[in-house]
């Protein structure tokens, strides 16, 4: 009879007095105990001295996760968290409620720079970046004020039907009365004021380009849908517990969003940038970087409902062409609907690395790619580099994935021309980047 494998003693609950080092990717800072153990500490800032309480890890762990539960020496960048539901062990939706807005952007810049250096071997200057992270229009507020930017909020519901948000790295629900970063169009629905018995999640969507409002209900197994009566008119959809599909209950199955002076249909809770300024901000950065010309052939990869494909189609003219590729079936339907006035646009359904080789395309002028958080990957990057585009725009929501893929592009003869970073997720550790890549000039 085999003995059960030995487990290392848990260190959860242990406390260490530490001096806090630099910010790290993921919304925490790095510290070390006197014994040299690495701690990833949330709710602290670089340069502080704190008592950190371990939340994850044991004697055999490579690193420990912890919360700063006592601030012994505070940073000048610290503010009292405006949100009453943030803090150690509480809501995990925000990472930097306790930091001044300017400091948050500086931390995000430090993370981008660290990832570029570590994964791509580039300094900010070599990446064509001035080191700044730009706030979205209207988001530059005094310390203590919070931008109401989140147009899509997925509320977690506890077993009693109370509304909350998930705690950090946990399925546990932190009950809340109001989410401070929720857009006004979400808050005015009054979701937090009601009981949602039998529901697992309630997602609220407030389109920034129209008055469309939508809730998507995920029932617990066997539960019946409630009668949805909110403070504003809404469409209601539900997630099917068998296939995970989203189905209309009543009202429209889509919301209408505006960007680039065009209305975009986004159905069944499909992807659209969450910050109300994000779609136009990123579209402008991409077009300013690519400088499309009449007659260009362009690719829009991971194209969603067609934001960049439409912007490209406008600019390449009747003699140009745009191919979009997207994995989401409903997003493809929406993209084809949104771009139906452009004969020169084609949208294909499937994975980029499977569909693109089948098209037979061996040469293009411009490429836009906006991959999921994991990035595009070496195989896809190699294929894209082989197409000889004069410029490639890479839109990234994760600086680590961006840096890895920039390194792959470098292996295939492309380097960054410019990089811009935008703080489109205030109070969180997330940041959006747009890198413009071009072929390395070969010596004559």
Q: Which residues are catalytic?
A: 397
Tokens of 320: 């140009």
Run of H or E including 411: helix 399-411
Tokens of 256: 């209408």
- The alpha-helical segments, DSSP class H, found in 84-223 are 101-115, 184-187
User: What is the C-alpha to C-alpha distance for residues 324 and 321, in angstroms, rounded to an integer?
Assistant: 10
Complete DSSP assignment for 193-229: GS--TTEEEEEEEE-SSSS-EEEEEEEPTTPPPPP--
Cα 164 to its chain centre, rounded Å, is 21
Complete DSSP assignment for 241-287: TTT--EEEEES-SEEEEEETTEEEEEETT----SSTTHHHHHHHHHH
Tokens of 44: 């602290």
User: What is the C-alpha to C-alpha distance for residues 88 and 54, in angstroms, rounded to an integer?
Assistant: 11
Would you say 423 and 135 are in contact if contact means Cβ atoms under 8 Å apart?
Answer: yes
CB hemisphere CA count around 189 (13 angstroms) = 29
The neighbour count for residue 295, using CB atoms within 10 Å, is 12
Nearest to 152 by CA among 198, 107, 212, 97: 212
Question: Beta 246-250 vs 366-369: how paired, if at all?
Answer: unpaired
Sign of the dihedral through C-alpha 53, 56, 59, 61: negative
Tokens of 386: 């082989």
Question: Beta 133-135 vs 152-157: how paired, if at all?
Answer: unpaired
């Amino acid at each position: 009879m085999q003995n059960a494998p030995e487990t290392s003693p848990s260190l959860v609950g242990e406390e260490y007095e530490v001096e806090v080092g630099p910010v790290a990717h993921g919304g925490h800072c790095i510290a070390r105990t006197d014994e040299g153990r690495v701690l990833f500490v949330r709710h602290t800032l670089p340069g502080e001295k704190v008592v950190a309480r371990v939340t994850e890890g044991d004697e055999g762990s490579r690193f420990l996760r912890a919360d700063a539960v006592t601030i012994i020496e505070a940073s000048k960048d610290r503010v009292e968290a405006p949100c009453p539901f943030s803090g150690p062990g509480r809501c995990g939706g925000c990472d930097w409620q306790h930091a001044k807005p300017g400091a948050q952007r500086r931390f995000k810049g430090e993370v981008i720079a660290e990832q570029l250096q570590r994964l791509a071997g580039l300094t900010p200057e070599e990446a064509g970046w001035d080191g700044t992270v730009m706030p979205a229009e209207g988001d530059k507020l005094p310390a203590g004020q919070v931008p109401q930017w989140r147009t899509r909020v997925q509320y977690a519901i506890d077993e009693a039907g109370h509304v909350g948000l998930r705690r950090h790295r946990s399925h546990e629900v932190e009950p809340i009365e109001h989410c401070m970063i929720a857009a006004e169009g979400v808050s005015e629905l009054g979701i937090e004021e009601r009981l949602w018995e039998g529901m697992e999640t309630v997602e609220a969507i407030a389109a920034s380009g129209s008055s469309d409002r939508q809730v998507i209900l995920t029932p617990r197994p066997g539960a019946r849908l409630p009668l949805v009566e909110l403070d504003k008119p809404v469409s209601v959809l539900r997630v099917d517990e068998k296939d995970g599909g989203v189905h209309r209950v009543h009202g429209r199955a889509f919301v209408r969003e505006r960007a680039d002076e065009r209305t975009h249909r986004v159905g069944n809770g499909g992807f659209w940038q969450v910050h109300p300024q994000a779609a136009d901000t990123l579209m402008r950065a991409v077009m300013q970087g690519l400088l499309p010309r009449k007659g260009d052939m362009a690719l829009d990869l991971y194209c969603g409902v067609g934001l960049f494909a439409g912007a490209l189609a406008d600019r390449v003219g009747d003699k140009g062409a745009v191919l979009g590729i997207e994995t989401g079936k409903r997003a493809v339907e929406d993209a084809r609907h949104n771009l139906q006035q452009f004969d020169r646009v084609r949208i294909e359904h499937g994975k980029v690395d499977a569909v693109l080789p089948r098209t037979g395309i061996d040469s293009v002028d411009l490429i836009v790619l906006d991959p999921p958080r994991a990035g595009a990957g070496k195989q896809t990057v190699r294929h894209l580099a082989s197409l000889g585009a004069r410029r490639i725009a890479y839109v990234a929501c994760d600086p680590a994935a961006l840096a890895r893929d920039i390194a792959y592009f470098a292996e295939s003869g492309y380097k960054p021309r410019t990089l811009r970073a935008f703080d489109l997720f205030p109070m969180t550790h997330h940041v959006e980047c747009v890198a413009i890549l071009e072929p390395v000039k070969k010596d004559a």
